[in-house]
Each structure stands twice: as structure tokens, then as C-alpha cells.
A and B are shown apart, each in its own frame.
Chain A
Amino acid sequence: MPTGGDLLIIELGAVVLGLAVVARLARRVGIPALPLYLLVGLALGEGGLVELPASAEFIEAGAEIGVILMLLMLGLEFSPHELVVNVRRSTLAGFVDLVLNFAPGVAAGLLLGFDPVVTVLLGGVTYISSSGIVAKLVADLDRIGNHETSVVLSVLVIEDLAMVLYLPIVSGVLFGDTLAGTILAVTISLAAVLAILGVAYFLGDRLSAIALSQSSEALLLTLLGVTLLVAGLAGRLNLSTAVGAFVVGVALSGDIVSHARGLLLPLRNLFAAVFFVFFGLQVDLSLIPGVAVAALAIAAATVVTKIASGWIAAARAGIGKPGRLRAGAALIAHGEFSIVIAELGIGRESDLGALAATYVIVLTLVGAVLYQFADSITLPARKPRRARA
């Protein structure tokens, strides 16, 4: 008879092994694994095939850590200076992207009769592409050298930065009771974010030098400790833990970055997968049929608006039509941020979880396939691409 502790380990082992199987499958087929992790979560959750009584709490904590690690790694990709340069250069493209892609979510929220806050959350869900998935797709398809790739990356940077303002605002709105309370909460949130970003901008180099250590064990513990603390405090201030972790990543620069990436990547991969499983677990499978049509419609609208915003951004950068289409298709995949945003609103609107999960799964699979075959869509007469090994 297994004791509680044994059962926890057995359940975790089974879940992780299940994820390993879908990760291998995804690689074989050439699609991102993330939507499949969500599917695993859906299959295991409420109303699913098997329930996980012993490990639910552990998975929940793991999911929190997963968000923090994902955002920390994302922040590590950028230096504060790079962010500033990018915003100056791509403001218009970023603005077009924001307006076009908030629209499907907001429109859907209004049509479905969600309350205003949930409607704004749904706008965020449709707005934000997945930097993680897009970057991986670009690398896997050997398109880093393509001219449209710089445009795609710039748009993603702006989106991620927009999240740094958006998440504290919506958190403030979610937690404020009265109008005055809400305005106060939002003001405090934004002031705190700007203060932290200011520290990152001016002191990032020095702090990074202090944190750097020859011992990779000491470095890993330092990074994790600092990030969890800052993220936790940010969460306390209703800034969202995600934003706290992102800012820590941005603040780190110089030699420490490549060490940190190597150390954190395996942890990130594990806990990010746990995060998607956890989100799937929270979603009641029986709700999905009711929202499926809406999710598909919003996904279809997002395919159009993302292609449009990528097209416009690439055209402004002087890129030809095939490249514009590739830029648009690259931006379709949604992932971590969409789910993080949806999670904020699950308490207010139970349909939001099922809607977002279905939406992200469909959109990301469609996006990956469209981006892969974007070239054959434009110019069918061209010689076929060589089969990839």
C-alpha cells in the first residue's frame, strides 16, 4: 500500500513520463510541444481520464515556479539598452500589432457577454504571441538569417515589454474594489515597475557583476533566490510574479547571462511543462464543447490579424511580399503569456480557462504549420524546399 509520499512520486513520475512521450511525438511531427502539454493537463484534470489527488499541490507550486523561470529566461535574452533601442525603432509596428490583435479578444469578450475586466484579459490573450515558441520555430527552420526575422523579433520584444505594463495594470484592476482603490493600486503597480526597471537600467551591470560567481552551484542558487524573492515581492504588491521575474532577467547583463542560461534552461524546461499541465488541470473538460466554436472563431480572427500586423511591420522594413507573409505567420503562435493572462481571470469567469486553452492549442498548431509552409503558400511554382533531415 503506497503511502502519501510514495503516491506523490508515482504520480509525478507518470506525468513527467507522459510529457516526455508527447515531447518526442511533437519533435517527430515537427510541431511545438507546448500545446500538447496543455492537452495532457486537460486529459488529467477535472472530468478527465485520471485525477491526481496526491500531486496536485506540488504541481501548483511547480507551475508558479515555471512561470517565474520562463519569464526570467525571457528577460535574460534582452539587455535594458536593447529594449530601449527597440522601442524607439519599432514603436509604430508595435502599436499596429497591439491594436489589431487586442481586437479579436475584446470583440469576443463583448459578444460573449464577459464582464469588462475579463474582456480586457481576453484582449491580452489574443494580443500576445509566444516569444518562446516563435524563437524556437525560427531557429528550427533555419530562418534566423531571413530578413523578416529581425522584424519579428522586434515585434516580440515590444509585446513582452507591453506585458510589463499590462500585467500590473490588470492585476491592479482585479484587486481594487472601488474605483479609487483600483486607480491607487494601478498607480502603485506602475510606479513600482518603473522603479524596478530604472534600477535594472542604471545598476544592472553592477548587480550582475556582484552576482557572478565562479561556482555554478552558488550562481544557480543566487539567481534562483533573488528571482523568487523579487517575483514573490512583486506578487505581494499585485505586480504579478511574472513581471518581477522578467525584470530580474532584464537587469542581468554581461558575462553572467550565458552562464545563467546554461544553468537555468533544464529547470525552465521542466517547470514550464509543469505550468502548462497545471493550467490544463484547472480546466473542466466538460466546459470545452460549449466554448469550442468561440475559441475557433477567435483563433481564426487572430490568424488574420497577426498576419496583417506582421505584414505591415515587414513592409515598413522594406521586406518583399513572401517575407511579409512569413513575418505574419511567425507571429501567430501563442503560448505562455496568453495562459498567464487567462489564469488571472479564471476566478471571475470559469469559461475563460477552457476558452484560452482551446484557443492556444489550436492557434499554436495552426501557426506552426502556416509558418513552416509560408513559402509554398506564396509561390507555389517555386522548386520545393529540400526535405529537412
Chain B
Amino acid sequence: MRKVTETDLPGVGVRFDLQTDAGRAVGVVVHQSGRRDLVVYDERDLDRACESVELSEDEGHTLGEILGGSPVLEHLDDAIHRLEDLVISWVTIAAKSSTAGMTLAESALRTRTGAGVVALVSDSGSIPIPAGTERLEPGDVAVVVGVPSAVMAATRLLTRPG
């Protein structure tokens, strides 16, 4: 994957920059509110945004899909490649799932499937290496690691009833 530089904008959000081989630069400003600005930099002054288009969260997702997959997925390919038979998967916890609302310990995800939850990501932030007392809230994203079959089993538990 191409190198994207990430810069904090205190009080605003985060800016991601990408320089193209042709010498142009584009960027995305992700605001704390979810708003995104698609930014095109001036050819002669690579620090100056000559165009800035405001996108809602939804519009940003759509544009991202048109442009080809999400960086998270590409990241995943990368990870799979390097870790050989380990898989990392980002699973959104479904409300209808039998595990939704349970704590990690209650769900017994690791003993039942062999895959582990290494992080929980919600709107209010992420919990790396969550303790057994953390809850699997519907809508949050669980980052699941394991061999492919174990991750598949864990994904089923987190997304499907029964």
C-alpha cells in the first residue's frame, strides 16, 4: 500500500495526504463531526489546498467505494500476506447476534471459536486489548484475530442469531 501521511489537526480532526507519482498531492480532512473535505493541492505550492470539497460521511463512503475499496481492506490484504495463516477481520457487531450486549467473557468467544478480540472500536473511541468485562455493544466493531476458520466462526457469532 502507498504511504499516506496522517497529521493531527487539533480541535478539527485528522488530515491524510497522498502524493501521486505524477507529482500532484491530494488529501482528505476527516472532521470530528464526521464531515470530510476532499482536498486537491496546488501544483506549484504543494502545501496549498486549491480546491476543497466538503463531503458528508455518506458521500465520503460512496466516493471511497468508487475509487476502489477501503484502505482498511487493503491493509488487511497486506496483513494476511505477512502473517501467512493469520487473519485480522473488522466485524461490526449485529444487534440480532446472540452475543450482542454480552461482555466478552460471557460470550466466551475465544474458547468457542479459537479467535480472539484484540480491540473494540466504537464511536466514542477504541479499546485495545479489551478486558473480559468489556461489552459487545451492537454497532461497535470488534477486531478479531485468528486462523481463517476461527475468524469465520467468530464472525458468525458476532453477526448472526443463535
For B, the interface residue count at a CB cutoff of 8 angstroms equals 25
Would you give the shortest CB distance from B103 to chain A, in whole angstroms? Answer: 18
Are A145 and B8 interface neighbours, CB within 8 A?
no
In the bound assembly, the distance between CA atoms of A178 and B113 in angstroms comes to 71
CB neighbors of B among A128-172 (8 A): 135, 142-150, 153-154, 156-157
- Secondary structure type dominating chain A contacts: helix
Listed stretches B9-17, B63-71, B81-89, B104-112; interface member: B9-17
Would you give the shortest CB distance from B64 to chain A, in whole angstroms? Answer: 17
B47 contacts A by Cβ under 8 Å:
yes
Q: Quick one: which of B7, B27, B47 contacts A320, CB cutoff 8 A?
A: B47
Would you give the shortest CB distance from A104 to chain B, in whole angstroms? Answer: 26
In the bound assembly, the distance between CA atoms of A375 and B42 in angstroms comes to 12
Given contacts A150-B9, A157-B11, contact A254 B125 (CB under 8 A): yes
Are A142 and B49 interface neighbours, CB within 8 A?
yes
Are A146 and B47 interface neighbours, CB within 8 A?
yes
Would you give the shortest CB distance from B46 to chain A, in whole angstroms? Answer: 7
Residues of A within 8 A of B41 (CB): 145
In the bound assembly, the distance between CA atoms of A150 and B29 in angstroms comes to 11
Would you give the shortest CB distance from A311 to chain B, in whole angstroms? Answer: 13
B52 contacts A by Cβ under 8 Å:
yes
A49 contacts B by Cβ under 8 Å:
no
In the bound assembly, the distance between CA atoms of A323 and B47 in angstroms comes to 6
Are A150 and B48 interface neighbours, CB within 8 A?
no
CB neighbors of B among A231-264 (8 A): 254-255, 257-258
CB neighbors of A among B42-84 (8 A): 44-49, 52
Residues of A within 8 A of B32 (CB): 257-258
Would you give the shortest CB distance from A17 to chain B, in whole angstroms? Answer: 32
Are A320 and B45 interface neighbours, CB within 8 A?
yes
In the bound assembly, the distance between CA atoms of A150 and B46 in angstroms comes to 15
Are A146 and B44 interface neighbours, CB within 8 A?
no
In the bound assembly, the distance between CA atoms of A82 and B123 in angstroms comes to 17
In the bound assembly, the distance between CA atoms of A82 and B13 in angstroms comes to 10
Given contacts A254-B125, A255-B124, contact A153 B10 (CB under 8 A): yes
Interface string of A319-333 (1 = CB under 8 A from B): 110110010000000
Are B9 and A149 interface neighbours, CB within 8 A?
yes
In the bound assembly, the distance between CA atoms of A86 and B12 in angstroms comes to 13
Q: Quick one: which of A86, A153, A257, A320 contacts B46, CB cutoff 8 A?
A: A320
For residue B13, which residue of chain A has the nearest CB? A144
CB neighbors of B among A46-82 (8 A): 77-78, 82
For residue A149, which residue of chain B has the nearest CB? B9
In the bound assembly, the distance between CA atoms of A29 and B44 in angstroms comes to 29
Are A142 and B10 interface neighbours, CB within 8 A?
no
Are B47 and A153 interface neighbours, CB within 8 A?
no
Residues of A within 8 A of B29 (CB): 144-145
In the bound assembly, the distance between CA atoms of A63 and B8 in angstroms comes to 33
In the bound assembly, the distance between CA atoms of A82 and B32 in angstroms comes to 13
B37 contacts A by Cβ under 8 Å:
yes
Given contacts A254-B124, A319-B47, A323-B47, contact A86 B8 (CB under 8 A): yes
For residue A382, which residue of chain B has the nearest CB? B44
B39 contacts A by Cβ under 8 Å:
yes
Q: Quick one: which of B7, B9, B47 contacts A322, CB cutoff 8 A?
A: B47
Residues of B within 8 A of A179 (CB): none
Q: Quick one: which of A78, A255, A322 contacts B48, CB cutoff 8 A?
A: A322
The 8 closest A-B pairs by CB, nearest first: A145-B39, A323-B47, A77-B11, A145-B49, A147-B47, A157-B10, A153-B10, A150-B7
* Additional pairs, 11, CB under 8 Å, beyond known A146-B49, A257-B32: A86-B10, A142-B52, A144-B29, A147-B47, A150-B8, A153-B10, A157-B10, A254-B124, A255-B123, A320-B47, A322-B45
User: 27 A-B pairs, CB-CB below 8 angstroms?
Assistant: A77-B11, A78-B10, A82-B8, A82-B10, A82-B11, A85-B8, A142-B49, A142-B52, A144-B49, A145-B41, A146-B47, A146-B49, A147-B17, A147-B47, A150-B15, A153-B9, A153-B11, A153-B12, A154-B8, A257-B32, A258-B33, A320-B46, A320-B47, A322-B47, A322-B48, A379-B44, A382-B44
Using a CB–CB cutoff of 8 Å, the interface residues on chain B facing chain A are 7-12, 15, 17, 27, 29, 32-33, 37, 39, 41, 44-49, 52, 123-125
